[in-house]
Amino acid sequence: MNQQPAHNRISYSQISLFQKCPLSYRFRYIEKRPSKPSPHLSFGTTIHRVLSRFYNEYDGQFPNFSLLESLLDKNWVSEGYTSLEEELQWKKNALIALRNFYKNTDLSKKLPLEFEEWFEIPFPDFTLVGKIDRVDRTNNGRLHVIDYKTSGKLQSYDQVKKDLQLAIYYFACRYKYKEDPEKVSLYFLTQDEIVSAELTEVEIQEAVNNILETYQHISRAIDENSFNANVSKLCNYCDYLEFCPAANRTTQVQSLALELPDTFEERFRQYLEKLISIEEDFERLKIERENIERELIAEMERNGEKKVKFEDFIVELVEGTRYSTNESQLIETLKKHSLFESVVNINIRALQAILKNESIPEYVREEIQGQIQVNEVVKKIRVTRIAEQ
């Protein structure tokens, strides 16, 4: 039985989270706050489950793609999607990922040496634990470590060489099989790309030193109950942003940009300047968005594309239609067939204009006014440049 305290079993996820932000490590691993459900998380869990069960069910017969489809249905994790539409889009992405996997996997060959297997490597003060997605034997009879990626950008060869998780898996294979892998790979399933690298002894030693050093930092943080917050733009993706005091304080200060001055006039100026600059940015971004959209449409048309899969995105050329009508005749036709009311929406602004229009008889305005109820008074700010009034 393992006698070490819980934090003495360290995984790559723990190391990586502590390196990103020690405070988020405390939230997850000390306070045991759950991570927020999200499409990326559910999608990743689903694909990993499907691929591991696929190999479990593989009985030596060449399997049909329908096996993957039915495993996808059975193992789909439905948490974290904000709408059915969003979920269906992710399901389409899952099918793309599985098709890529099916196309690239030679199932007439031997099964992987292992898939989704746990390892434990004892170090003097702790045990390094983890699970490797897949280990194959190459044609040369050497080990090949594969980690499935279901989100994030494609990585370069240099990034794969520096990937701490892959180095840990390499080290785990050395410990378990007493032999060094020929190569390690990240398999980007939705992008259909495999990026592989051979690791050198220097790179493995650097990774081990990194693990030892991070373990020392984690131990010290736990002993002293002191976990620094690393506030950065990555906070926007943190599961604990909502209740993180450090990030919220910074966000508030950033949103007001500065400390508030003492006088009403100065405070007013500060708020107003911020509001105007947001409005200007908004207008500029709207124009920028339209220009970029136009460029994208032109690019896609030049290439004869209607749908482009690019990294984590699918860009589609969607055709909308603008109409013009002969309004008076159309109204007559709709009225004749008793359909006018189904296309008319009450426009409160137009109504307000009628109520202000003195050429409309008083009794008509009163009758209209009598049918409008005020449900709620909403306070808003309207800013108009004096020259525009």
In sign, the C-alpha dihedral spanning 298, 303, 305, 309 is: negative
Residues, the chain, total?
A: 389
* Chain centre distance of CA 79: 14
Q: Does 97 bind ligand SF4 (CB under 6 A)?
A: no
SS3 187: strand
**Terminal CA-CA length for the chain:** 79
SS3 365: helix
What angle, 0 to 180 degrees and rounded to 10, lies between the N-to-C axes of helices 12-20 and 164-177? 160
Q: Does 244 bind ligand SF4 (CB under 6 A)?
A: yes
Name the segment binding ligand SF4 (CB under 6 A); options: 223-231, 297-305, 311-319, 365-373. 223-231
Q: Does 30 bind ligand SF4 (CB under 6 A)?
A: no
Number of residues that bind ligand SF4 (CB under 6 A): 15
The encoded tokens of residue 34 equal 């759950």
Name the segment binding ligand SF4 (CB under 6 A); options: 19-27, 44-52, 285-293, 331-339. 19-27
**DSSP category for residue 190:** T
199 or 231: whose CB is closer to ligand SF4?
A: 231
Q: How far is the CB of 38 from ligand SF4 (least distance, A)?
A: 14
28 or 161: whose CB is closer to ligand SF4?
A: 28
Q: Does 238 bind ligand SF4 (CB under 6 A)?
A: yes
Beta bridge partners of 118: 131
Binder of ligand SF4 out of 10, 15, 17, 21 (CB under 6 A)? 21
| CA-closest candidate to residue 25, choices 300, 226, 163, 295 | 226
CA-CA distance, 198 to 177, in Å (whole number)? 17
2 or 228: whose CB is closer to ligand SF4?
A: 228
Q: Does 25 bind ligand SF4 (CB under 6 A)?
A: no
Identify each DSSP E strand in 123-206 by its residue range. Answer: 127-137, 143-149, 183-188, 193-197
Q: How far is the CB of 235 from ligand SF4 (least distance, A)?
A: 3
Q: Does 14 bind ligand SF4 (CB under 6 A)?
A: no
Q: Does 241 bind ligand SF4 (CB under 6 A)?
A: yes
Q: Does 218 bind ligand SF4 (CB under 6 A)?
A: no
38 or 230: whose CB is closer to ligand SF4?
A: 230
Q: Which residues bind ligand SF4 (CB under 6 A)?
A: 21, 23-24, 27, 229-231, 234-235, 238, 240-241, 244, 246-247
